Structure 1
Amino acid sequence: MNNDILKRRKLPKESALYSAMSDGVCSAIRGIIKEAIDSGNNKIFIRTNLKRGLPLENINKVAGPFVEAWALEKFEEISDKVGNKYGLVNVEAGKRLDAFDMVLQFKLKGIDDYVSANVDSKATAEDILTSGKSPNITSFARIRNEYLDDPDYIFLVLSLKHKVFSEKADGNGITNGIMQVNACHVYDIKYVSAKDLNYNPALGTGQMQIRDIHYVDEERKTAEQFIKMIDEKYINSRGLKPWLKLAEKYKWIKSE
């Protein structure tokens, strides 16, 4: 009976161009961040009057929003250049409760339509061993519904590695805190390997987590295979009955 129910799941069918669209936007994002790093345009300055400088042992708690705001500005700078080589035409910041931090729209070569990518940016500190370990990415039900609504939905994770240091700004005890982005990794959540994508039952319908945000193995999967994978993780954690309640609520099962 259980297998019969799961066989009647509604499953998304992505287009033949999906992998080209996903690879294209990942390549463009990677190029934009690399250009900023290579050109030295990768620092954020925070002016303080703390003689000892920034409290580095806890700086990761505040560095994340600064680094993520930096990334948004880098994308906006590129999109403002009409005809830029990356094909980035529009940038929109996410709202407070959105699963993503920004939406980037591209005009890619060889693809007629504009391609939109929802990007969740995550800042990870170079000198903190636990930074970037098992962060929440998005809720189980939300990401599942997105692929059912749009099988070509693109959800990317952008990991930004940074370090923080201080330097004296003048002779009056003023210290500048500097956050410097040194590396990035961007990937499609759908292509994250099964061993690197975990399910955490806490918070609502549960959260999808990535074992180590900056280091993941990729496995090419269709939207259908991705949905089956996260369903299995949910059911293994909570059981079939809670899944069926969600399926009834969100109409995930085909009528007989």
Structure 2
Amino acid sequence: MFIGHFAVGFAAKRIAPRLSLGTAFMAAQFIDLLWPTLLLLGLESVRIAPGATAVTPFVFEHYPFSHSLVAVLGWAVLLGVGVGAARRSARVGGVVAALVLSHWFLDAIVHAPDLPLAPGFETLVGFGLWNSLSATLAVEVPLFAIGVWLYASSTRATDRTGRFALIGLVAFLAVIYVGNLFGPPPSSVRDIAVLGHAQWLLVLWGYWVDAHRRAVEAREPMPIQPLPASRSSS
């Protein structure tokens, strides 16, 4: 899953208007932002095997520190407490923790059984939606559309940048998604790690978009026109 995680980040604005889109992206994608570093350090491993599934050519061999359920719970608590304390908002912290945790459950829907429950455990989880390209598209594309709609309807652009930066971000995510689905696989694991770190640019893009939009926490009332002053009869 790729745009599905960003969909959840977009949608979080409806629940926590004070949460920046950049922070929401960072939380929703946190374990995939961590994973490339662990690959480069040799602590986790992946193998490129074209045809492994209908959607992705990757075989995730070992990633207990970034993608096991217990580890993700730990990252969720750590990031949620940190952001909540920084923003002095338990609500924001709770939403951030939920976003981090959501990544594992969304991955469990699409992955082959390769997600560990905890480091050292042999039990692996995954429902294998990636075995069907059409089923993956049927789930992920509507999810992305709903997430974008929730964000766009919960905010208003304060200038042209706020409008067009959001349109550009959505279009760029769609292009990356299509490229991931139909483009050639990376030539090496190092390339995967390097490209994975580039996702931080999407986090920065989220902060840029949100800086030029304001949250609309409730439906704005229609302005009330004052009644004309009555004339006193002479």
Alignment TM class, shorter chain as reference: 0.3 to 0.5
Give the TM-score, by structure 1 length: 0.32
Give the TM-score, by structure 2 length: 0.34
Q: Which has the higher strand share?
A: 1
Q: Which has the higher contact order (CA 8 A, sep 6+)?
A: 2
